[in-house]
Chains A and B, each alone.
Chain A
Amino acid sequence: MVAVKETVDQVKEIEVDQYKYGFVTDIEMDMAPKGLNEEIIGFISARKNEPEWMLEWRLDAYRRWLTMTEPNWAKVGYPPIDFQDLYYYAAPKSGKQGPKSLDEVDPELLRTYEKLGIPLNEQAVLAGVEGAKIAVDAIFDSVSVVTTFKEELARAGVIFCPLSEALQDHPELVRKYLGTVVPISDNYYSALNTAVFSEGSFVYIPPGVRCPMELSTYFRINEAQTGQFERTLIIADKGSYVSYLEGCTAPMRDENQLHAAVVELIALEDAEIKYSTVQNWYPGDAEGKGGIYNFVTKRGDCRGRNSKISWTQVETGSAITWKYPSCILRGDNSSGEFYSIAISNGMQQIDSGTKMIHLGKNTTSRIISKGISAGKSSNAYRGLVSAHRKASGARNFTQCDSLLIGDQCSAHTIPYIEAKNSSAVFEHEATTSKISDDQLFYCLQRGIGEEEAVALIVNGFCKEVLQQLPMEFAVEAQKLVGISLEGSVG
């Protein structure tokens, strides 16, 4: 089929420049020596001015990590990572540590975020942009650069700050919850993260409070050969609500960079956490050189009755994505949701999905996963839905759909269903389709260009998930979907 060769040619031409966030910020950095050992961990902890128990926790994790072996069951392939060949701490040298106002931030950094379209200037946000305000915590390599709207949030009792700051100002809160959803020995990468994490966001919503604005953290990896290990902890106390957005980009480099994050969410009784991610890490070039390894552990604990956690993600970047945002449905009547669009193009590899663990009574979960593969990529959905012996009345609905574009890509679905309670009702539907030539022809015949037609059809395919995103993200996500599929039509 002539189209196949054309697709391949077009994919090969996916200009590396199409990733428009690939620039590097030239700025003086304060870095730890290369490599990983107890001294480096001490260095990181000291730089952060952490309490003693924190350093001990890190060292414990590091020692545990040394005894673990790297897992290799995922449907992804990559050359071995030399963990000693990385910098584990890199921070912009300018400015002091701790909370800053915008005019204390290096202008070069501000320019970076402006280029990325991240609203750091509160006045600009209030003045210009229609729609809700968004508080932003901007994290550059290993440190938070600035957090906006903190006063306003504080008035509502909401704590939103970098984790390092929370360890100074609210150590008891952090100690109570950190590591309770993802314990040290959970897996190889979370253990590593626990040892070397440098920054992340901390959110605490007090009882009964509906967070007055969207909270957002924007992660930017800049320095070469650094691993990014961020740690985020979000606690929604009884009856509270928060919507949180996570965005990420990175420069284009020839070497791969490791991003091993851990996100822990805790929802107490009657509370709700909505966590959205638009991930656009550098995916590597058309030959598969470079790109971020995105190995992430994200887990939500619906601790209280009637609590609710929902994960919404649009994953378009990364050379390799390996993540399963999950929900532990502990509280009775709790519910978990997972909405995902995972797009792979070029030589990307994705092994992603979710785990819904039903423990309490009458718990519900909902999974809508849309995988789109193009180019020579590989896209696997791996999901686990399980009901504990005592989880009576557990209900799940899963829909995983795959869309293939072109003839060189692949899509896989690997569902695990474990129902140990006889009253559990689990539904699973899966479809695999191609964008049919007839559909494309129909659009073309009406005057719609090829790339616009693919974007139209793919957005239709992803509609259900896009509708879950907060409005500001939804528009950006739609455009991102279109861009990440440029040149993929076959």
Chain B
Amino acid sequence: MLVIKNLHVEVDGEPILRGLNLEVGTGEVHAIMGPNGSGKSTLSYILSGKEDYDITQGTVTYKGENLFDMSIDERAAAGIFLAFQYPIEIPGVAAMTFLKTALNAQRKMRGEEELSTPAFMKLIKEKTKALNIRPEMLRRSINVGFSGGEKKRFEILQMALLEPSLCILDETDSGLDIDALQVVAEGVNRLRSPERSMIVITHYQRLLNHIIPDKVHVLSHGRIVRSGGKELALELEENGYAEYEKPEVNAA
């Protein structure tokens, strides 16, 4: 699904990613963990296509295509979804309107038929029920006045609706209490499938108790310095990131 080779990225002349390598197979769930400043969010922005970043070296192949040839909305229609860490507010735009516009925009780009309003409403009813989202919430402006948990659940609802191939979850657990975390994790787990890959970016191990990864990677100073199975997450929980921050580890 996704192959990242020797990716170097700078922001305003500052190197953030320094030769990152990563391969995510179809149907796999990979966790990326690391301390603040390691480049986790940068990775998610690069994959989704945000501007302001300079790609100085390396390649990213998505479903066999060069990802950097695709614009932000093209990537979305091709199945890349980013669940934001801090979802932004858009006053005056009803959540429901937004969802329909997004879904139909993607369908149009893929040459599929757009959904009529009744068909769309039916779909929404189905998806919101599973996530415990009250329909009234969707009449509100996007994220305006939403609690932290509501914001994250709205991100997962969008994911459920748009049915992406590659989900990038950027610190989805930040700002969530235990109950909210469980609802979100359940929502994510329901979306796991052999056709869908996920990159779960997180600081803390606890999310990975609920969303069990196939592989865990440690991101430090802009590179993946260690990879392993789910036990690696527990190890990090025990010992922290200090070992990976040492200069020798990052020299190569």
Where the two chains meet, the residues of A that have a C-beta atom closer than 8 Å to any C-beta of B are 2-3, 436-439, 441-450, 452, 456-457, 459-464
Contacts and interface: CB of A to CB of B under 8 A. Distances in A.
Contacts, number: 74
Interface string B69-81: 0011101110001
B68 interface: no
7 contacts: A3-B51, A436-B88, A443-B98, A444-B72, A445-B76, A452-B105, A457-B90
Given A444-B73, A444-B76, A446-B105, 19 more contacts: A437-B51, A441-B50, A441-B72, A442-B84, A444-B71, A445-B48, A445-B82, A446-B162, A447-B73, A447-B76, A448-B101, A452-B101, A456-B93, A456-B101, A457-B93, A459-B93, A460-B90, A460-B91, A464-B92
Interface in B36-64: 48-51
A2 B105 CA distance: 26
Contact of B92 (A3, A446, A447, A461): A461
Given A445-B82, A447-B102, A452-B101, A460 B73 contact: no
A320 B97 CA distance: 34
Contacts of A437: 51
A449 B92 contact: no
A437 B72 CA distance: 13
B228 interface: no
B165 interface: no
B141 interface: yes
B120 to A, nearest CB: 15
A439 B72 CA distance: 13
Given A445-B48, A447-B109, A439 B90 contact: yes
Interface in B193-225: none
Nearest to A2: B51
- Give the residue among A449, A459, A461 with the most B Cβ atoms within 10 A: A449
B155 to A, nearest CB: 10
A441 B84 CA distance: 11
B128 interface: no
Of A2, A437, A441, A450, most B-chain CB atoms within 10 Å: A441
A240 to B, nearest CB: 34
A446 B102 contact: yes
A3 B51 CA distance: 10
Nearest to A456: B93
A442 B90 contact: yes
A464 B103 CA distance: 25
B172 interface: no
Contact of B98 (A438, A456, A461): A456
Contacts of A444: 49, 71-73, 76
Contacts of B49: 444-445
Contacts of A461: 91-92
What is the interface of chain A mostly: helix, strand, loop, or mixed?
helix
Nearest to B144: A460
B87 interface: yes
B165 to A, nearest CB: 13
Contacts of A3: 51
A2 B52 CA distance: 9
Interface in B180-200: none
Nearest to B103: A447
Contact of B105 (A442, A447, A457, A464): A447
A103 B93 CA distance: 46
A456 to B, nearest CB: 6
| Nearest 10 A/B pairs, CB to CB | A460-B92, A460-B93, A447-B76, A447-B106, A446-B102, A444-B72, A463-B92, A447-B105, A438-B88, A448-B105
A441 B98 CA distance: 14
Contacts of B87: 442
Nearest to B75: A445
A402 to B, nearest CB: 14
A136 B50 CA distance: 49
A456 B91 CA distance: 10
Contacts of A464: 92
A462 B103 CA distance: 23
B88 A459 contact: no
Nearest to A461: B92
Nearest to B101: A448
Nearest to A431: B91
Contacts of B106: 446-447
Nearest to B78: A447
B72 A445 contact: yes
B76 A442 contact: no
A451 to B, nearest CB: 11
B50 A446 contact: no
A449 B102 CA distance: 9
A438 B45 CA distance: 12
Contacts of A436: 88
Nearest to B80: A445
Contacts of B73: 444-445, 447-450
A436 B50 CA distance: 13
A389 to B, nearest CB: 39
A1 to B, nearest CB: 9
Contacts of A457: 90, 92-93
Contacts of A442: 84, 87-88, 90
A453 to B, nearest CB: 9
Contacts of A439: 88, 90
A172 to B, nearest CB: 48
A91 B174 CA distance: 70
B14 to A, nearest CB: 18
Contacts of B71: 444
A439 B87 CA distance: 9
Contacts of B109: 447
Contacts of A456: 90, 93, 97-98, 101
Contacts of A448: 73, 101-102, 105
